[in-house]
C-alpha cells in the first residue's frame, strides 16, 4: 500500500528546522553518539545492516537506544530508563503536561544525536516530516497565543522501558503535545508500533512564523482529503450507512485509554463497497501506516486486511464540507483508527490495536511462561 522510501540514514533529509534545533544541533549522528562511555547493563551498538527490513529497523532502534543511554549521565539515567513493565509505559496523553523521560530541549548534543537516530530508525521520511511539523506547530501556537510559555517546540520527552539488548523485551516512546509514538521490541523483533497518536493545531498553518512550518502546511491533510473523497464516492444508500451523525463528538472517542475497545456498531462495511471504494479505503488507511518504514507499515496493513469484510467499517460524523467540523473512523476486528477535526482546524488522530498496543498480544505468552513479570497496567 505504501511507496517504498529509501532509508533516511542515506538521505540528506533536513530534520533541523528551528523548531527541531534541540534534536539536531548540527550533531554528526549515531556514529558519533556511539563513542560515548558505555553504561553498565547496556551493550555496545552493533553495525547496522544495509537493509530496510524489519530486522534492520529493530537493530537500528537498539543501537540508537543504547547510544542514548550511553550519552546520558548516570545522575539523569533514572529520568530516561524505566522497567519494561513500569505503569508509566501505558500512561500516555496528547495534551501539554509533565511527562516521563528526558525532553529534547534538555538533552546534550550527544543525546540529541542518539535521539535523532532513534526517531529515524522506525519512521519513514514522511513520518519524520510529520513529526517535524507537529513539533514546529508549537512555534505557531506560541505566536497565535501571544507568547504562551506552554508552547515549546523541544518539549518532547523520550523514555526507554527495559534494557535495549538482543535477548529481551524492551520499548521506547516519544511524547509531547499532539504526539505520542510507542515502539515495542522483543529479541530484536519489532512486535508493536502502536499506539500512534498524531495531532495538528492548527491543522492548516495560517502564516509562516519563525521556527514553524510553511504557510498552508497541513501535516495531516492527506488522510482527511482521502476520507472525504471516499465519502463523496458513496451512493445514497451507502452514505446512509456511513454517516452516523451530523454532530461531531468533540474528540477521538477512545481518548487516552490504556486499553482501547471497539466502538459501537455502525458505518459502511468493506463488504458493501465496490472495488474502487475498497481500494480507496485501504489506500487511506495506508497513509496512517506510512508514518513508519515500509517493513513496519506492511505488518500493520496485514492486520487490517485480516479483518472479515463485514467487520471492516468506515464511519463519518459531522460535515462533509472542507473546513467544517468532522470525524471519521476505520474499525476492524482488532484495530481502530480515529480522526477528529471537530473544530475544523484542530486534528487529533489515533491508531489503536485492541490486543496489540505495546505488544500485549505478542508478549502475552511470555508473561504466562514467566519469562517477563506480569504487566502492571
Of 171, 200, 229, at which residue does a domain stop? 200
Q: DSSP assignment, residue 292?
A: B
User: Same structural domain for residues 46 and 140?
Assistant: yes
Structure confidence at residue 365 (pLDDT): 61
| Residue tagged 482529503 (cell numbers) | 225
Give a yes or no: residue 227 inside a domain.
yes
Of 200, 233, 264, at which residue does a domain stop? 200
As a whole number of angstroms, the distance between CA 166 and CA 178 comes to: 31
User: Same structural domain for residues 84 and 124?
Assistant: yes
User: Same structural domain for residues 196 and 307?
Assistant: no
37: its cell numbers: 562511555
User: Same structural domain for residues 170 and 260?
Assistant: no
User: Same structural domain for residues 62 and 140?
Assistant: yes
Residue 288 near residue 239, CB atoms below 8 Å: no
User: Same structural domain for residues 196 and 325?
Assistant: no
User: What is the tally of structural domains in the chain?
Assistant: 2
Give a yes or no: residue 205 inside a domain.
no
Structure confidence at residue 16 (pLDDT): 36
Q: Where does the pLDDT of residue 265 fall: very low under 50, low under 70, confident under 90, or very high at 90 and above?
A: confident
Domain extent at residue 324? 221-362
Report angle CA 47, 295, 366 to the nearest 5 degrees.
Answer: 80
| CA torsion angle 183 57 302 300 (round to 10) | 30
User: Same structural domain for residues 162 and 91?
Assistant: yes
What are the pLDDT digits (tens) for 63-84?
A: 999 999 999 999 999 999 999 9
By C-alpha distance, which of 99, 204, 193, 188 is closest to 152? 99
| CA torsion angle 115 88 76 113 (round to 10) | 0
Is the full-model pTM beyond 0.75? yes
User: Same structural domain for residues 77 and 189?
Assistant: yes
Q: Where does the pLDDT of residue 17 fall: very low under 50, low under 70, confident under 90, or very high at 90 and above?
A: very low
User: Same structural domain for residues 251 and 169?
Assistant: no
User: Same structural domain for residues 105 and 50?
Assistant: yes
| Residue tagged 519494561 (cell numbers) | 84
Give a yes or no: residue 2 inside a domain.
no
Q: DSSP assignment, residue 3?
A: -
Amino acid at each position: 500500500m505504501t511507496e517504498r522510501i529509501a532509508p533516511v540514514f542515506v538521505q540528506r533529509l533536513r530534520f533541523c528546522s528551528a523548531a527541531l534545533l534541540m534534536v539536531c544541533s548540527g550533531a554528526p549522528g549515531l556514529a558519533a553518539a556511539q563513542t560515548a562511555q558505555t553504561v553498565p547493563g547496556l551493550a555496545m551498538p552493533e553495525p547496522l545492516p544495509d537493509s530496510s527490513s524489519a530486522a534492520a529497523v529493530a537493530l537500528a532502534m537498539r543501537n540508537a537506544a543504547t547510544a542514548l543511554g550511553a550519552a546520558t549521565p548516570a545522575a539523569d539515567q533514572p529520568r530516561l530508563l524505566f522497567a519494561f513493565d513500569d505503569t508509566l509505559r501505558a500512561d500516555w496523553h496528547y495534551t501539554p503536561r509533565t511527562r516521563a523521560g528526558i525532553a529534547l530541549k534538555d538533552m546534550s548534543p550527544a543525546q540529541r544525536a542518539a535521539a535523532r537516530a532513534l526517531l529515524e530508525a522506525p519512521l519513514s521520511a514522511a513520518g519524520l516530516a510529520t513529526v517535524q511539523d507537529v513539533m514546529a506547530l508549537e512555534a505557531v501556537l506560541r505566536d497565535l497565543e501571544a507568547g504562551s510559555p506552554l508552547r515549546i517546540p523541544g518539549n518532547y520527552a523520550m523514555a526507554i522501558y527495559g534494557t535495549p539488548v538482543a535477548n529481551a523485551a524492551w520499548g521506547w516512546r516519544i511524547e509531547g503535545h499532539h504526539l505520542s509514538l510507542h515502539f515495542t521490541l522483543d529479541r530484536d523483533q519489532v512486535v508493536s508500533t502502536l499506539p500512534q497518536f498524531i495531532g495538528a493545531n492548527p491543522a492548516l498553518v495560517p502564516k509562516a512564523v519563525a521556527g514553524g512550518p510553511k504557510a498552508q502546511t497541513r501535516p495531516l491533510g492527506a488522510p482527511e482529503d482521502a476520507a472525504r473523497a471516499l465519502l463523496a464516492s458513496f451512493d445514497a444508500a451507502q452514505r446512509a450507512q456511513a454517516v452516523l451523525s451530523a454532530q461531531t463528538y468533540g474528540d477521538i472517542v477512545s481518548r487516552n485509554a490504556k486499553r482501547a475497545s471497539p466502538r459501537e456498531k455502525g458505518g459502511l462495511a468493506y463488504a458493501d463497497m465496490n472495488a474502487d471504494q475498497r481500494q480507496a479505503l485501504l489506500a487511506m488507511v495506508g497513509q496512517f501506516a506510512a508514518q513508519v518504514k515500509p517493513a513496519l507499515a506492511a505488518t500493520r496493513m496485514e492486520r487490517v486486511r485480516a479483518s472479515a469484510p463485514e467487520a471492516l467499517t468506515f464511519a463519518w460524523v459531522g460535515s462533509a464540507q472542507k473546513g467544517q467540523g468532522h470525524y471519521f473512523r476505520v474499525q476492524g476486528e482488532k484495530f481502530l483508527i480515529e480522526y477528529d477535526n471537530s473544530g475544523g482546524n484542530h486534528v487529533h488522530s489515533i491508531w489503536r490495536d485492541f490486543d496489540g498496543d505495546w505488544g500485549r498480544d505478542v508478549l502475552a505468552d511470555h508473561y504466562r511462561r514467566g519469562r517477563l513479570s506480569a504487566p502492571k497496567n
